[in-house]
Amino acid sequence: MALRDAPSARPALWRSLPCPAAELRLDLVLSAGQTFRWWESSPGAWTGVLGGRVWTLRQDRDRLWYTVYGEEEEEDGHAAEATKLDGAETDRILRDYFQLDVGLAALYRAWGAADPLFRKVAHDFPGVRVLRQDPVECLLSFICTSNNHISRITAMIERLCQAFGRRLCCLDARPFHAFPSLSALAGADAEARLRALGFGYRAKFVSGSARAIAEGLGAEGLRQLRAVPYAEARRVLCALPGVGAKVADCVCLMALDKAEAVPVDTHVWRIARQRYGAALGGRSLTPRAHQEIGDFFRGLWGPRAGWAQAVLFCADLRKGQELAGSWERAGGGRGQDSRGDGPP
């Protein structure tokens, strides 16, 4: 991202955190279906929206570098009102988002000792860690993953933010918007607007869940599910429109601190059956199948089974993308490449 091309954004100085590649690989974590708000803005640089601000991240061998862009000026020439963040606060936000206090290399060693297949796959996929996302954004984003693939989900979330979210700044002629508020997505016309944006049947679920949360738990109540047991958080989520076992487990794992949650879609089901020989769940992904497969991996990998599953999912996804690319180059079609290839 060329800073001189973004004069209205007022970039901050670059800062860095100690972070070896064994602890974090941006290219694997930000492109593998955990989040849909980052793009590779130049080779090795990732730009996206986090916490209502626009960031660019880079890595070298042992440090994570970042800059945060200020909000663009309004029509009267004054900068939009925003809370100023000092370096200590931006460091804290990134450490929290990437959960850098969790020692990943030690976990890889423990999972590899328990599971030779994990050890073999993980060698080529270091630094895959689970993000700690805003629960509202994570939930409403994953509702959009049903019967979908990453590139299409990313485009949908971008349209959602442009239509309903506050504009933050413009970089290289690309506008960036905050994720919409619950109130914006719970409005009377939200479902119709989402359908016009190409959300199809998901429009009803996005607006319905936004309304249910706004009128019930509220954003803070959803966040407080971080403090309750996994089974209870999952039960509350599954009561929301369009939220089934898979979406609930994605939110539990990636936003609500439930490291034992194992999101199960057809990718993970296939991994369990073909690579581990686990005859689980019968012929379809029923609630029982979700539970049995999750329990199988929790028994294998322990209390952070969801993190270990994220590594195998990333490896499976990357291989699938490479095969899909070869197929497309040969004149074939596009296949599924996300957690969204089954029912919500």
Question: Quick check: pTM over 0.85?
Answer: yes
Interval 221-276: pLDDT, tens: 999 999 999 999 999 999 999 999 999 999 999 999 999 999 998 878 888 888 88
Instruction: Tell me the C-alpha distance between 339 and 102, whole Å.
Output: 24
pLDDT of residue 283: 72
DSSP 10-54: -B---EEEE--TTT--HHHHSSSSS-SSEEEEETTEEEEEETTEE
pLDDT of residue 200: 94
CA-based nearest residue to 66, from 54, 51, 78: 54
Contact 90, 113 (CB under 8 A): no
List the structure tokens of 181.
């508020």
pLDDT of residue 177: 97
Which stretches of the chain drop beneath a pLDDT of 50?
Answer: 1-10, 74-82, 323-338, 341-344
What's the CA dihedral at 118, 120, 126, 128 to 10 degrees? -30
pLDDT of residue 12: 59
How far, in Å, are 8, 168, 328 from residue 175 at the CA level? 11, 8, 30
The residues carrying an active-site annotation are 246
End-to-end CA distance of the chain: 36
Instruction: Tell me the C-alpha distance between 235 and 319, whole Å.
Output: 33
pLDDT of residue 340: 52
b (16+ CB within 10 A) / e for 112-132: beebeebeebbeebbbbbbbb
pLDDT of residue 317: 82
Q: What angle do CA 130, 297, 256 make, to 5 degrees?
A: 35
Task: Go through the domains of the chain in sequence order and give each one's CATH number.
Answer: 3-99 (3.30.310.40), 135-258 (1.10.340.30)
Instruction: Tell me the C-alpha distance between 158 and 319, whole Å.
Output: 26
